Structure 1
Amino acid sequence: MTAGNVGIVIVSHSPKVAEGAADMVRQMVGAAVPLAWAGGNAEGGLGTDVAAIMAAIDAAWSEAGVAVLVDLGGAETNSEMAVEMMEEGRRDRIVVCNAPIVEGAVIAATEASGGSPLDVVRRTAEELSPV
């Protein structure tokens, strides 16, 4: 039995940025990759919300794992907290990528749509990071 394709989660301080990046990914890879996003704080303003990130990870869950793309430091911190709060059996199959949010999400999803494993999806996204 195959585990399916790696899922992608986009986390931004802005709901519009997160949704727009997810829309771009969906248009590039179709439904081949589980995809979700979380943006904004619990009150709808700028920020991030651990519970929303956890829900997005659940929505994009794949036995192949989930790659999380973030925009700023707070999104990274809250995404790492969300990963730590996930079930023990899932934690080791979720990675927070150090990659640009839009370009990283598109290239990660493209890589995932071809069936690449989580470590390759992460590495491919992170190759876009400036040195």
Structure 2
Amino acid sequence: MVNIVIVSHSKRLAQGLMELASQMKSDDCQIALAAGIDDPDNPIGTDAAKIMAAIEEVYSPDGVVVMVDLGSAILSAETALELLDPAISERVRISRAPLVEGTIGAVVAASGGDSLEGVLAEADLAYSLKG
């Protein structure tokens, strides 16, 4: 099954989205968070190593779709892909869809057994539907 990683600058935002997405997913679909940074005085940000660990946590040969909140999260996710074993990174896709709508679409598609490209397409569809 394709699994999902939620990347957000805010840990609280990601936790809320995970709570919402968990209501839509099957038991087999896994969601991991890579959100915020480990600085109590300034917790907002993204961390490529944290994203890499989240991808490894939920990796399956079917793939992983990474959902991101803001532009710099894309850069951190791309850096994480460069740090991963190539056998893993080739089965990971980064979606540029709106975070909430895209994540819900991705989770529903993954839970329904869609392929990696199908889950990514469903997440990305959220962009066109909202526009």
TM-score exceeds 0.5: yes
Matches of 1:117 and 1:30, distance apart in 2: 15
Structure 1 residue 6 and structure 2 residue 2: aligned?
A: yes
Partner of 2:22: 26
Which residue is equivalent to 2:81?
A: 83
Report the Cα offset of residue 32 of structure 1. Answer: 2.5
* Counterparts of 2:24 and 2:112, CA distance in 1: 13
Aligned partner of residue 24 in structure 2, secondary structure: helix
Runs of 4+ deviating beyond 3 Å: none
What is the identity percentage for the equivalent residue pairs of Structure 1 and Structure 2? 39
Q: What amino acid is the match of 2:25? A: V
Alpha-carbon distance between aligned partners in 1 of 2:55 and 2:18, rounded to the nearest angstrom: 13
Q: Which moved more, 1:41-50 or 1:104-113?
A: 41-50
C-alpha root-mean-square deviation of aligned residues, in Å? 1.2
Unaligned runs of 5+ in 2: none
User: How many pairs does the alignment contain?
Assistant: 127
- 1:99 aligned residue (90, 97, 100): 97
Contact 2:62 2:91 in 1 (8 A): yes
Q: Aligned-pair distance for 1:13?
A: 0.3
- 2:26·2:111 contact (CA, 8 Å) conserved in 1? no
Query: Contact 1:35/1:59 (CA < 8 Å) preserved in 2?
Result: no
Alignment partners' CA distance in 2, 1:117 and 1:64: 7
Separation of aligned partners in 2, 1:105 and 1:62 = 18
2:70 & 2:86 partners in 1: Cα distance? 26
- Structure 1 residue runs of 5 or longer lacking an equivalent are none
Give the CA deviation at 1:31.
2.1
User: In structure 2, what is the equivalent of residue 122 of structure 1?
Assistant: 120
Deviations 1:12-55 (Å, cap 9, x if unpaired)?
Answer: 00000111111111121142211101111231410001111111
Q: For residue 60 of structure 1, what is the amino acid of its counterpart?
A: V
Superposition TM-score, scaled by structure 1 size: 0.92
Which stretch of the first structure deviates more once superposed, 28-37 or 84-93?
28-37
